[in-house]
Structure 1
Amino acid sequence: MVTVNEAKQLIIANTQLLEKQKCALDEALGRVLAEDVIAPISLPPFRQSSMDGYAIIHTDITQKGTPLTISGESKAGQADLPELKPGSTIRIFTGAPVPVGATAVVMQENTARENGTLTINEYPIPDGKNIRRVGQQIREGAVALGAGSLVSPGAIGFLKGMNMNEVIVHRKPKIGLLVTGDELLKAGDALVPGKIYESNSAMLAAALTNAGASEIEVKYAADDFAATAEALAALIRDNDVVLASGGISVGDYDFVGTALESLGAETIFYKVRQKPGKPLLFGKKDGKLIFALPGNPASSLVCYYEYVLPALRRMTGWSDPFLRALQLPVRYGYSFDGERDEFLKAKIEGSEVVQLDGQESFVIGSFAVADALIYLPVHQNKIEAGELVEVHLLPV
């Protein structure tokens, strides 16, 4: 049995980056850049006005009330601009190119216009005021976004503004998901005594989709050694990561562990000193990662967030793949006995975190409203209301 931190370290140490590939920028949201993006042009590519107002030569303004002759206009998208001469001004709009010769822009609110003459009611006016310099945002040839950057909506807008339509990212992993259990019914089946509706596959597929996975293969196997081994062999052959839900504990009908052993898979660790989610197995075969998750849904989802998701992120280039952690005061006191760290389903309300009802491993309803997990190591097994605890934020 390993600790929570040992399990995370072993997973990252055994997880490799997937190959690089080109990706259309329009499809890159949420992906991580595998290479630096170099700016092909400067932004702005020309001097721009940051205000509606008047382009001037700042040294023409010697006092408040200085008059200037209006000699033209510059609007956004205009290219044929006259050169600004001393003693004159050109009407200009936000985003429009600044005429040659102009050294500043005066806000129209600080001017008065009458009969073709403009009076400047501002003094002094510094050189460059209200002018966006060429390359003020980014210079041609500079690193616009570095490798490891997450492609956000803002990143897409930034790169599109430089006419970029492709980026280099790491390939998304192919995921295989095995669900085992004779007690499971599929959607639409009639409920009969002793049976329950299978929900882990839909739950995990939704979590995987939310993480950006695009290829998820789901197989079902009865509580039978041969069927379990056959399904696992096929999933390992065809995917980068295989998740098995259920069948990994110590019951007479839990065959996932022995099936993996028969297939020659290497077990990196089995069982984590935590609650819920103790019977977690992490292994490898032919470079493929294998996670055997507990069958109880809350245990399965905790293990997904804490261990599987970081591995998927690491494969696709995340430098810090774990859930974001905060220190927040807890609303209610809590205590537990035993030698295992605990994860509590929780919700952040205001400036504090609230542990939810229904912490048992089979209860998934509390996960439906949770947006965080409270992590309590064994040395913090008794907490008082208001005490700071480590909180892991769940993906939205």
Structure 2
Amino acid sequence: MISVDEAKQKIVEHTMLLPDESVKVIHSAGYVLARDVVSPISLPSFRQSSMDGYAVSHNDVVHDAQSLPVAGEVRAGEVILRDLVPGTAVRIFTGAAVPEGATAVVMQEHTIRSQDQVMINEYPIAAGKNIRSVGQQIMKGSVALPAGTTLGAGSVGFLMGMNVTEVSVHSMPKVGILITGDELIRPGDDLLHGQVYESNSSMLEVALRSQGVKDIEICYASDDLGATIDALRQLSETNDVVLASGGISVGDYDFVGKALEMVGADTIFYKVRQKPGKPLLFAKGSDTLYFALPGNPASSLVCYYEYVFPAIRKMTGHTDCFLRSIKLPIQNDYSFNGERDEFLKAVANEAEVMPLDGQESFALRSFALANALIYLPSSQSVVKKGDLVEVHLLPLG
């Protein structure tokens, strides 16, 4: 049995980046750039008005309330180039190309229009005022987004605005989920005495999808060594990560550990000094990572967030692999025997964190309400209200 910190370290050490792939920018949210994106154009690519108003030469405005003749109009999107006649003004709109010779745009709130004349009620006017210069956002040939950037709505908009429609990213893993347990039946079927509805596959699938994983395969195996071996071998052939739910403890019908040996997986560790989630196994094949998770739902989800989540983050190019961790005062006293580190389902806000009722390894209702896990190492087995504790914030979605 190893410590929580040792388990995390071993997972990070044995998890490698997935190969790069090219994806459409419109579908790139959540991916991490594998290569720098170099801007093919300058943004803006022309001098652009940032206001509705009048383009002028700032040197032509020599006093307040000065009138200038209006020599024309430029709307956003006009491609015909025009020059500003000295001593005149041009009506201009936000986003439009600033005429050659104009050095400033006076916002319309500072003007009074009268037929073909405009009174400028601003003096002095600074050169360049309300004009976006060429390349003010990014210059052609510059690195627009560096490798390692996590893409989102803002970056998609930025890239598309430069006419970058494909990017090189770290691939998302293909993940297989193996569900074992003869007592489990699918939701929707009639429940007989001694049976329970199987929910871990759906729970893990949603957790994976919230990380951007799209390619998920779910397989079921009876409590039989041969069936478990066959299922693991099938999942190993097509997936980068395999999550086995259940069958990893020491019962007569727990075959996952033995089956992993039979498919050629090398066990990196088995059992972590924690509660819940002690019977966690991490193994590695030639091209596949294996996580044998406890069958109890809350234990399984704790192990997912603390161990599988960071592995997938590392595989996909993230440098901040683990759940975000903060220190908060605990809302009430708590103590335990101190033999194993504990993870408590909790609700955290900006001021404090409150452990929830229902900390048993089978209890998911508290997980449904939780937005955080309190991590209490065995050295902190007695905490009083107001003591600072380590809080791992669960991802949204």
CA RMSD in angstroms, aligned pairs only:
1.4
Report deviation, 1:62: 2.0
Q: Does 1:216 align with 2:197?
A: no
Aligned match of 1:21: 21
Aligned to 1:178: 178
Code of the aligned partner of 1:7? A
Asked if 1:157 corresponds to 2:157, the answer is: yes
2:121 counterpart of 1:121:
yes
Partner residue, 1:348: 348
Q: Aligned equivalents of 2:73 and 2:274: distance in 1?
A: 70
What amino acid is the match of 2:265? Answer: A
In 1, distance between residues paired with 2:255 and 2:99?
77
Distance in 2, Cα, partners of 1:5 & 1:63: 71
Structure 2 residue identity aligned to 1:254:
D
Distance 1:90 1:379 in 2: 74
Alignment deviations for residues 48-91 of structure 1 (CA, whole Å, 9 cap, x no partner):
11111111111222221222111111110012243112211111
| 3-state DSSP of counterpart to 1:122 | coil
After TM superposition, list the pairs within 5 Å mapping 1:190-269 onto structure 2.
190-269=190-269
CA contact (8 A) 1:74 1:81 kept: no
For residues 174-213 of structure 1, what are the alpha-carbon distances to aligned partners after superposition, in whole Å with 9 as ceiling and x for unaligned? 1111111121122233222221111111111111122222
Residue pair 1:245, 1:295 contacting (<8 A) in 2 also: yes
Describe the SS at the equivalent of 2:106.
strand
Structure 1: where are the runs of 5+ without partners?
none
The Cα of 1:278 is off from its aligned counterpart by 0.9
- Contiguous gaps of at least 5 residues in structure 2: none
Find out whether 1:134 has 2:134 as its counterpart: yes
CA distance in 2, matches of 1:101, 1:232: 72
Are positions 1:334 and 2:354 aligned together? no
Superposition deviation, residue 23 in structure 1 = 0.5
Query: Would the aligned equivalents of 2:77 and 2:96 in 1 still touch at CA under 8 Å?
Result: yes
Tell me if the contact between 2:338 and 2:380 (Cα under 8 Å) persists in the aligned partners. Answer: no
User: Which is worse superposed, 370-379 or 194-203?
Assistant: 370-379
Task: State how far apart, in whole Å, the 1-side matches of 2:215 and 2:224 are.
Answer: 27
Shift of 1:335: 1.9
Paired with 1:36 and 1:126, the residues of 2 have a C-alpha distance of: 37
Cα distance, 1:323 vs structure 2: 1.3
Do the aligned residues in 2 keep the contact of 1:21 with 1:169 (CA within 8 Å)?
yes
Once residues 42 and 331 of structure 2 are traced to their aligned partners in structure 1, the CA distance between those partners, rounded to angstroms, is 51
Q: Which moved more, 1:38-47 or 1:231-240?
A: 231-240
**1:1-396 to 2 correspondences below 5 Å:** 1-396=1-396
User: 1:112 & 1:321 partners in 2: Cα distance?
Assistant: 58
Deviation at 1:46, TM superposition (A): 0.7
Q: State the percentage of identical aligned residues.
A: 61
TM-score with structure 2 setting the length: 0.96
Q: Which runs of 4+ in 1 moved over 3 A?
A: none
For the residue of structure 2 that corresponds to 1:343, the secondary structure is strand
| Alignment TM-score, normalising by the size of structure 1 | 0.96
**Shift, 1:350, TM fit:** 4.9
The answer on whether the counterparts of 1:39 and 1:140 sit within 8 Å (CA) in structure 2 is yes
Q: SS of the residue aligned with 2:91? A: strand
